[in-house]
Amino acid sequence: MILYFDICTFIILILVLGSCLLKKMFLGRTNMLFYCVIMVMFFATLGDIMAGYIQDYAVKTNANRSAEYLWEYLYFFMHNMLLVAYLPFVYSNIGMWHEFKRNRRVLLIWSGYMTVNNLALFSNIFYPTIFRFDEHLRYVRCRGLIIFYITGAFMIAYQIWTLLKYKEIIRKDKLVVMLLLYPIALLGIILQIFFANILIEMFMISTTMLLFSLIIRREEELLDPLTGAKKYSVARDSLKSIINTGAPVYILLIRLVNYANIRLYLGEELFNMFLRIQSGKFRAFARYNALHGELYYLEDGLYTFVTENQDYDAVKKLGVQIKNHYAETFQVESFSINIDARQCIFRCPDDINNYNTLYTFATSFHMILPEVKDVMNYPDYVEDRDFKIKSELNDIIDRALNHGAFEMFYQPIYSILERRFVAAEAFIRLRDEVYGLVAPSMFIAAAEINGTIHAIGDFVLEDVFRFISVTDFESLGLECIQVNMSTSQCIEINLVDKISTLMDKYHIIPERINFEITESAVDFDPDVVDQNINRLHGMGIHFALDDYGTGYSNVKRVTTLPVDIVKLDKTFVDGVDDPQMWIMVQDTIKMLKQMGKKVLVEGVEEEKVVRKFMDLGADYIQGCEYLQGYYFCRPLPERDFIEFMQEQVGE
């Protein structure tokens, strides 16, 4: 017997095993099943080597004859168990473990193959149907060996069919390498049939395991080196596979809400250490609660733990343990930090069966019900209207864009000098076919995140320009419509061309439009924004600075912008009863007037506030020119707004 190939197989298996151990591939069912396949190959090769050694090099004694039988039985048993071990590994590796556990046909094929082969091998003890040794200890094949070839061919065909059946959810390189096992193994079997003295079959199979380890089982490419949890890209593929295959899993979301403040406080190096500590803690808690699963880090302080354990109580205990862990002040070296952690448990596919919904919910659940400090259970809140809306915002926005569910509302603006309504601000509203009217505070932020804000902005411009073109502004007493411009719109390279095209299309003069911008939008990309604003202003379009005073107000920046109106935020209105605050309001207005800006006060809801601002007067050094708020009128749909303005003009 030529044993060199089997010796090489030993070396390859040791290298594969050592590589996995060095990469710390200890956790997870798939890793354990991979080790199982390697160990089955290891003992099959050991049996092959020892039987071949005794046959060619040992003294011909009865003891060695018995030993040779034992080693040969070990080889055949482990050889038969190789496909038995490989099938569950295949199902686990492609994310279909639930199918292996629950599908009776799969279990019947798996157990049937194992039973038939082992019974055939067992019968060889009483009657040599598989193999025997002659008086010279030479190995002799028997006709019954065909049983192993037939069952093996059937099992290989079934495994190939399984991989091809789920090829759409398997990474291409993984699929190719897993399929390679079968032709390579088949080649090894054929070679060993024709060259019985060359023990090459296990060597051929071991090369595929080495290839698999080098190309597929690269744990360093799966793990985020900073956190020790699996990467976002791995989580995305895994979650999509779970949704597509309907695998029943529990998912625990863990959001460190104040992660940005922690990062700023600790610094980058200590923050990365902090994240690694959290990953280790989460895994330790999972082991304590006997939960087997995968931990992913989806960035921005969001961890996701996915477990196939169907015991909700165990998952809830894990969440409670994590909650208690963060209840106390946390120490990172000499720094003490308080962690605001939110958690939610849901089950796929029962609770969520759509990847977009899953991703949206995972990244925003801490904002959907921000007051919930305990471990959330998705079904407990699923009937709440706001919860549903916030969970499905991406789908709601897509429906609105595709089915024309957006509409414009208008709120009149009152002129103190002229004692009448002279303009209006346009507000977008979303009237969903399922949930009815959805507030902008809900969908605008989501649109900015998913990129649909551009499509929404285009709709606003188109509809406002249309409204101006079909409405007799002069008969309504209107001078212009104020239109909010988002940060995303402000940095559009083709913004000026887009607006110019709309003005030509609807025959709108520039004076009819007043774009509202915020300081945050202006500062996002100053070069692009300044270029867009200055070009539009040069065309005769006016600008207003919105929400002045809501945050850090850069007075120097205000002086450089070509804005005609500065809109004071409602926070100014809320403080007018405070003498100190009222002094600040008056000083702010005087400062803006001295810059040559007109002033509009937003959020006016009470008559006493109206009187207070009107009593200031309005000239070039003091007082505001415009008031806007619910005291005068709420935002109205287009038709209602026209009727309102017609009534005002008629008076």
Cα 14 from Cα 23, distance rounded (Å): 14
Same domain for 13 and 143?
yes
Same domain for 315 and 416?
no
Same domain for 437 and 383?
no
Please check the confidence at residue 468 and state whether its pLDDT lies above 80.
yes
Same domain for 370 and 406?
no
pLDDT digits (tens, 9 = 90+) for 544-580: 988 776 554 556 666 777 888 999 888 888 878 888 8
Lowest mean per-residue pLDDT among 169-178, 276-285, 292-301, 498-507 = 169-178
pLDDT digits (tens, 9 = 90+) for 364-383: 888 776 666 788 888 887 77
- What is the rounded average pLDDT of the residues 604-615? 89
> When comparing pLDDT for 3 and 139, which is higher?
139
Same domain for 292 and 376?
yes
As separate numbers, helices (DSSP H) first and strands (DSSP E) second, the chain gives: 29, 19
Task: Tell me which of 391, 410, 441 is where a domain ends.
Answer: 391
Task: Tell me which of 391, 410, 445 is where a domain ends.
Answer: 391
- What is the rounded average pLDDT of the residues 467-485? 87
The total of other beta-carbon atoms located within 10 Å of residue 368's CB is 22
Q: Is the Cβ–Cβ distance between 518 and 544 less than 8 Å?
A: no
Q: Is the Cβ–Cβ distance between 224 and 231 less than 8 Å?
A: yes
Please check the confidence at residue 230 and state whether its pLDDT lies above 90.
no
Same domain for 245 and 209?
no
Please check the confidence at residue 34 and state whether its pLDDT lies above 60.
yes
Query: Whose CA is closest to 597, among 631, 546, 532?
Result: 546
Sequence-distant (≥ 6) Cβ neighbours of residue 22 within 8 angstroms: none
Cα 439 from Cα 395, distance rounded (Å): 15
DSSP three-state, residue 119: helix
Q: Is the Cβ–Cβ distance between 226 and 77 less than 8 Å?
A: no
Query: Whose CA is closest to 484, among 508, 509, 506, 453?
Result: 453
Mean pLDDT of the chain: 84
Cα 134 from Cα 138, distance rounded (Å): 5
Same domain for 269 and 131?
no
We report the CATH number of the domain holding residue 251 as 3.30.70.270
* φ, ψ (nearest 5 deg) of residue 128: -70, 85
We report the CATH number of the domain holding residue 16 as 1.20.1070.10
The total of other beta-carbon atoms located within 10 Å of residue 354's CB is 15
Q: Work out the end-to-end distance of the chain between its first and last CA atoms, rounded to an integer number of angstroms.
A: 111
- What is the rounded average pLDDT of the residues 425-440? 91
Structural domain for 514, as ranges: 394-650
Dihedral sign (CA 535, 537, 543, 545): positive
Query: Which residue matches tokens 């924004």?
Result: 529
Angle, CA of 477, 623 and 414, to the nearest 5°: 20
The total of other beta-carbon atoms located within 10 Å of residue 216's CB is 17
Cα 175 from Cα 171, distance rounded (Å): 6
The residues with which 616 forms a beta bridge, in sequence order, are: none
pLDDT digits (tens, 9 = 90+) for 244-269: 777 888 999 999 988 888 888 888 88
- Predicted local distance difference test score (pLDDT) of residue 75: 85
- What is the rounded average pLDDT of the residues 393-422? 92
- Predicted local distance difference test score (pLDDT) of residue 309: 65
Cα 107 from Cα 626, distance rounded (Å): 77
Cα 547 from Cα 457, distance rounded (Å): 19
Lowest mean per-residue pLDDT among 54-63, 181-190, 436-445, 590-599 = 54-63
Same domain for 123 and 193?
yes
Query: Whose CA is closest to 229, among 181, 272, 279, 179?
Result: 279
Query: Whose CA is closest to 257, among 300, 306, 224, 304?
Result: 300
Q: Which range has the top average pLDDT, 128-132, 210-214, 420-424?
A: 420-424
> When comparing pLDDT for 425 and 595, which is higher?
425
pTM as predicted: 0.60
Please check the confidence at residue 194 and state whether its pLDDT lies above 80.
no
DSSP three-state, residue 456: helix
